[in-house]
Amino acid sequence: MLPMQQIDQSIVEAEIRRRIRLSVAAYAYEYKNDSIMSDALFDEMSNAVDTSVITGNRKMDNFFKKHFEPATGMWVRKHPNKAGLENIYQRYFTKT
């Protein structure tokens, strides 16, 4: 059995990864007209977001609590780090 601290950390890490993946997917769709994941996966991951998880990034935690809506990707338009999303999108999802 894992110690409670390791369990909590794995939950936080999974939530961080989920939020980043969703943010990049929403960014790609809303700004680049590019579907980098299926609607079904986006919906599944969106419904799994837990805004009560504190990730240690206060700005992003507050953003997800205030603006995240699982039924749409429009929330990404208020994302506080669109430059970071653009960077990830360019590095991993565009062909060079």
Total tally of structural domains belonging to the chain: 1
* Confidence at residue 3, expressed as pLDDT on a 0 to 100 scale: 61
Q: What is the pLDDT of residues 54-89, one digit of tens each?
A: 999 999 999 999 999 999 999 999 999 999 999 999
Where would I find the H helices in the chain? Answer: 4-32, 39-48, 58-67, 82-93
Rounded Cα distance between 92 and 96, Å, is 10
Q: Are 30 and 77 in contact, with CB atoms under 8 Å apart?
A: yes
Q: What is the pLDDT of residue 6?
A: 61
Residue range(s) defining the domain that contains residue 29: 4-93
8 confidence band (pLDDT: 50, 70, 90): confident
Mean pLDDT (the chain) is 93
The per-residue pLDDT for 96 is 62
Q: What is the pTM of this model?
A: 0.91
CB–CB of 26/75 below 8 Å?
yes
Rounded percentage of the chain residues whose pLDDT exceeds 90: 88
pLDDT of residue 64: 98
Hey, how many other C-beta atoms are within 10 angstroms of the C-beta on 68?
19
Which sign does the torsion angle of CA 39, 51, 14, 63 carry?
A: positive
